[in-house]
Structure 1
Amino acid sequence: MHQSEQTLRLTGTGPTKERAFGAVMRQVQSAAAGKDGGVTFRVEPLALEVVSAAEHRRTERFLGLLFPRTRVHYEISMNVRVRVTSLDLDAVDFAVREEKLSATQHLLQMR
């Protein structure tokens, strides 16, 4: 078992603040697992720091004149410090078992 701490910079966007934050949180496990060798089985967020947060507003109008409506889009960039626990499969000794089937057993069992 191997533990390491990493700091990840992730960005998420969405139509609401909650969805933008959720987009960042959904990226944590895959980003942390990609940087560490072995098979990752635990990713613990330790600290969150907001680097930047932006609200983008845009006014749309039907036919350029009528029915104005305001569209809002949020973007958040965060530093997430995580502790990653992984298992190095190269260090695990696998026992080799070989099974030999006759031709009739192979046909009957379809292995």
Structure 2
Amino acid sequence: MNTSERTLRLTGTGPTKERAFGAAMRQVQSAATGEADGIAFRVEPLSLDVLSAVEHRRTERFLGILFARKRVHFEITVRVRVRVTSLDLDGVDFAVREERLTPAQHLLHMR
């Protein structure tokens, strides 16, 4: 079992603050396991820092002058420090069991 700590920088966007933050947090698992040595089975967040949070506002108009409406879009960038526990499968010894079927058993298992 290997344990390592990593710092990830993630960005999330969305129409609300909650969705932007949720989009960034959904990336933690895949980003941490993508860099892991072996198979990661535990990703434990240790700290979270917000690096930037931006609210984008714009006004849209139909035909340039009619029906003005305001659009809001949020973007958040966070730095997450995680501890990843992984298992290296190359170090695991697997026992080999070979099974031989008779021709009748082989026909019964075929579907």
Shared topology, TM-score over 0.5? yes
Letter in 2 for 1:29: Q
Match of 1:68 in 2: 68
Once the two structures are TM-superposed, the CA of residue 15 in structure 1 deviates from its matched residue by 0.4
Deviates more, 1:100-109 or 1:89-98: 100-109
Is 2:8 aligned against 1:8? yes
State how 1:1-111 maps to structure 2 within 5 Å. Answer: 1-110=1-110
Q: CA RMSD, aligned part only?
A: 1.1
Q: Structure 1 segments of 4 or more deviating over 4 A?
A: none
Once the two structures are TM-superposed, the CA of residue 91 in structure 1 deviates from its matched residue by 0.8
1-side partners of 2:54 and 2:88: how far apart? 40
Q: TM-score, normalised on structure 2?
A: 0.95
Structure 2 unpaired stretches of 5+: none
2-side partners of 1:61 and 1:72: how far apart? 14
Once the two structures are TM-superposed, the CA of residue 63 in structure 1 deviates from its matched residue by 2.2
Deviates more, 1:53-62 or 1:27-36: 53-62
User: What percentage of aligned pairs have identical amino acids?
Assistant: 76
